Amino acid sequence: SVSEAHAIVDFNGTRRNVSLLTLPEALPGDWIIAHSGFAVKRISPEEATESIKCLVDALDGPNVGSSPEGSTV
């Protein structure tokens, strides 16, 4: 869900409020990079999938981010 200044973002099943003041062009369904409660950058679904894969590989956990359900607005 997106309002003028905030969005509820799904971080692999955990929902958080994120400020859109730094990324006002974000739309519902967009994949984003968020840091410290702020949306930083929109990314493609392919970039999101690759980022999730890299995190899984780095953490070496079989269930961490195993599906492409990372950060969506």
Looking at the DSSP bridge assignments, the partners of residue 11 are: 14, 71
How many CB atoms sit inside 10 A of residue 8's CB? 14
Q: Can you give the residue range of the structural domain that contains 27?
A: 6-72
Residue 1 lies in a domain: no
- What is Dmax (Cα atoms) for the chain? 38
Q: What is the pTM of this model?
A: 0.69
Residue 61 lies in a domain: yes
pLDDT, tens only, 59-71: 875 554 555 555 5
pLDDT class of 6 with cuts at 50, 70, 90 = very high
Residue 56's domain is classified under what CATH number?
A: 2.30.30.140
37/24 Cα distance (integer angstroms): 14
> What domain count does the chain have?
1
